[in-house]
Amino acid sequence: MIKKIRFEHSLAAAYILAGGLWIIFSDRFLNSVISNPEVMTQIQTYKGWFYVFITGIFFFLILHKHLKKLRDAEIEIQQHRDNLHEMVVEKTRRLDKVVEELSLKNETINRQNEDLKHVLENLNNMQAQLFQAEKMASLGVLTAGIAHEINNPLNYMLGGLTGLEHYFEENKLQHENTDLFLKGIRTGIERINAIVSGLNQMSRTNTTYDENCDLHEIIGNCLMILSNELKYRVKVEENYADHAIIIPGNVGKMHQIFLNILMNASQSIGTEGEISIRTTNSGSSVITEITDTGCGIEEVDLAKITEPFYTTKDPGKGTGLGLSITYSIIKEHNGELRFNSVPGKGTTVTVELPVKKHTL
Ligand SMILES: Nc1ncnc2c1ncn2[C@@H]1O[C@H](COP(=O)(O)OP(=O)(O)O)[C@@H](O)[C@H]1O
Ligand SMILES: [Mg+2]
């Protein structure tokens, strides 16, 4: 490969060549025209100066030309460098802006994602509650229908019994035994009557929240419905306030509150135990405390038990909807629901409901 000859090499070569030729030819020429050695020495000195002068100009012109080119190139490079720097700064600024916009968009998307998650969760909860409400409504219609159907024959029975009692009295047919039988029949009929009217109250489908709710009557109805579940196993102690407590609300839904809480209390008790119910009127609100001697609630579960579908019970025994619905109903009544539990010892569920009519 032929190497490109550098400028400084060719310059040096040209200088040496020109110098050599100058010395040879100028000396020959001078030798041919000058014979005096003194003059010759003088002329040789001038010749040397002349050569230095000419080559000096020559080098100046060449170096000037090349250095100018170099300086121009340097200026151009500096300009490019400045431009490049500006471009980099501008590009970085734009990039920063884009990154900022992107992170803002990301934040918005994340927020929207969270919102969507909440909406989905709420929808699921609503769906579950709607499902349960629908079931309760159907159950209410069924119960109301049955209660109505039982009511008619019950009235015949009551009429017949009253007639019989009069007949026995008028004809002086009373006997120790017949009195006992008649009393037994009356007690039975009265009990059926109480159950039917309790069921009727429970299955009321009113949607208003300003009915007069008799708290003790409602709890009594719930206990009656649960009597089969409770008897022989759970002792129920009722420590009610000494006066009737009437609060505004929805009678049917109020039954649902206490039925769910009492059902949980009963289910928490194994072979035997106790449920005590205490009602107090604080003036602005009514407090109902339902304490059981059941299994209690573990700390980790406590925060989640009002969530829909949260259950610690075996499949088929619990749906996990009872307390979530109870909580919603209590909130609809502007009330509070609290739990106090010692695992292995028992639980106290406190329901606080306002005495005054609330606005929804
Ligand atoms: N009185 C109680 N004693 C012990 N655990 C309870 C009591 N009340 C509620 N719980 C706990 O709360 C959970 C949720 O109750 P709930 O919403 O009524 O659903 P479910 O009764 O169908 O399980 C129950 O599974 C249970 O673990
Ligand atoms: Mg339950």
- CATH number for the domain spanning 292: value is 3.30.565.10
End-to-end CA distance of the chain: 98
Tell me the C-alpha distance between 225 and 188, whole Å.
16
Do 171 and 106 touch, CB atoms closer than 8 A? no
Residues with CB under 6 A from ligand 1: 260, 264-265, 268, 292, 294-297, 301, 305, 310-313, 318-324, 347
Do 333 and 209 touch, CB atoms closer than 8 A? yes
Q: Is residue 134 part of a domain?
A: no
Question: Six-digit token pair at 228?
Answer: 């089969």
Q: Is residue 46 part of a domain?
A: no
User: Ligand 1: which of 226, 295, 305, 309 to mutate, judged by most atoms within 8 Å of the beta carbon?
Assistant: 305
In one letter, which amino acid is 335?
G
Tell me the C-alpha distance between 257 and 252, whole Å.
9
Alpha carbon 5 to chain centroid, angstroms: 78
Tell me the C-alpha distance between 248 and 331, whole Å.
14
Q: Is residue 271 part of a domain?
A: yes
In one letter, which amino acid is 138?
S
pLDDT value at position 1? 53
DSSP for 25-79, please give it.
HHHHHHHHH---HHHHHHHHHHHHHHHHHHHHHHHHHHHHHHHHHHHHHHHHHHH
Which atom of ligand 1 lies at the shortest distance from residue 310's CA? 14
Q: For residue range 40-73, what is the model confidence (pLDDT) as tens digits?
A: 889 989 988 998 899 899 889 988 998 999 999 9
Rounded alpha-carbon distances, angstroms, from residue 207 to 191, 235, 339, 360: 29, 34, 28, 12
How many domains is the chain built from?
Answer: 1
Place of tokens 């909406």: 119
Tell me the C-alpha distance between 329 and 317, whole Å.
22
Burial 248-266 (b: 16+ CB within 10 A, else e): bbbbbbbbbbbbbbbbbbb
Q: Is residue 15 part of a domain?
A: no
Which atom of ligand 1 lies at the shortest distance from residue 323's CA? 17
Q: Is residue 164 part of a domain?
A: no
Q: Is residue 179 part of a domain?
A: no
Tell me the C-alpha distance between 222 and 226, whole Å.
6
Q: For residue range 173-189, what is the model confidence (pLDDT) as tens digits?
A: 777 788 888 889 999 99
pLDDT value at position 3? 65
Q: Is residue 218 part of a domain?
A: yes
Which residue, 146, 154, 144, is CA-closest to 192?
154
Q: What is the pLDDT along the chain (360 residues), one digit of tens a residue?
A: 556 778 888 888 988 998 899 889 988 898 898 888 888 889 989 988 998 899 899 889 988 998 999 999 999 999 999 999 999 999 999 999 999 999 999 999 999 999 999 999 889 888 877 877 777 777 777 887 888 888 889 999 999 999 998 998 888 877 778 888 888 999 999 888 888 888 877 777 778 898 999 999 999 999 998 999 998 999 999 999 999 999 999 998 999 999 999 999 999 999 999 999 999 998 899 999 999 999 999 999 999 999 888 999 987 778 888 898 899 899 999 999 999 999 999 999 999 999 986 554
pLDDT value at position 309? 83
Quote the domain boundaries for residue 360: 209-360
Find the helix or strand (DSSP H, E) in which 320 lies: none
Q: Is residue 343 part of a domain?
A: yes
Q: For residue range 82-138, what is the model confidence (pLDDT) as tens digits?
A: 999 999 999 999 999 999 999 999 999 999 999 999 999 889 888 877 877 777 777
Rounded alpha-carbon distances, angstroms, from residue 324 to 149, 224, 261: 33, 23, 11
User: Ligand 1: which of 226, 234, 236, 264 to mutate, judged by most atoms within 8 Å of the beta carbon?
Assistant: 264
